[in-house]
Each structure stands twice: as C-alpha cells, then as structure tokens.
C-alpha cells in the first residue's frame, strides 16, 4: 500500500549525522516530507530514518519510492493526475 502523492518532486533537505527523521508515508501530513500525525486512523505509520552523515537528503514526495523514505525517481513515471 502506497500513500497519497504529496509532491511530484523530492524534498531536498539538509540532515544531521545520527539524527532520526520521521518521514510521512501516508501523504497527508501538512509538514511534508515529515510526519505530523495525520496518519492516525489509517493503516500508515511514519518511516524512521537516521542520517548516516551530514548531507543533503532527497526525501520522496510522491510516496511511491521503492527506497523510502528517500527518492528513487519513481515520481518521473507517475501520471500527473495521481495527486
């Protein structure tokens, strides 16, 4: 089961080494790409991801990535009426 498309592009964000981020898997969060609890009442849960180093991480916005929570380019193949 995949979440609702929140964006047809990834969210590039600076992350800190060893910090854990909670990626929104449902697509309903108002604080994309991170969880704000909007999944409550659904079968979705946030995905925890710990940054391996200080870097810019590209978090998936389409919620269809095979490498969640990071972008794998899947958004490039989605019909734009998915949103």
Range of the domain at 10: 1-83
Half-sphere exposure of 70 (CA within 13 A, CB side): 12
Percent helix, strand, coil in the chain, to 5, is: 10, 25, 65
Nearest in space to 82 (alpha carbons), one of 18, 8, 1: 8
Q: How many independent structural domains does the chain possess?
A: 1
- Please write the tens of the pLDDT for every residue from 48-69: 999 999 999 999 999 999 999 9
> Average pLDDT, whole number, for the chain?
96
- Reported pTM: 0.91
């Amino acid at each position: 089961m995949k979440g609702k498309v929140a964006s047809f592009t990834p969210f590039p964000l600076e992350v800190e080494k060893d910090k854990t981020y909670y990626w929104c898997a449902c697509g309903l969060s108002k604080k994309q790409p991170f969880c704000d609890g909007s999944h409550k009442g659904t079968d979705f849960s946030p995905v925890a991801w710990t940054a391996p180093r200080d870097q810019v991480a590209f978090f998936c916005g389409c919620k269809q990535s095979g490498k969640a929570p990071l972008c794998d380019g899947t958004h490039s193949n989605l019909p734009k009426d998915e949103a």
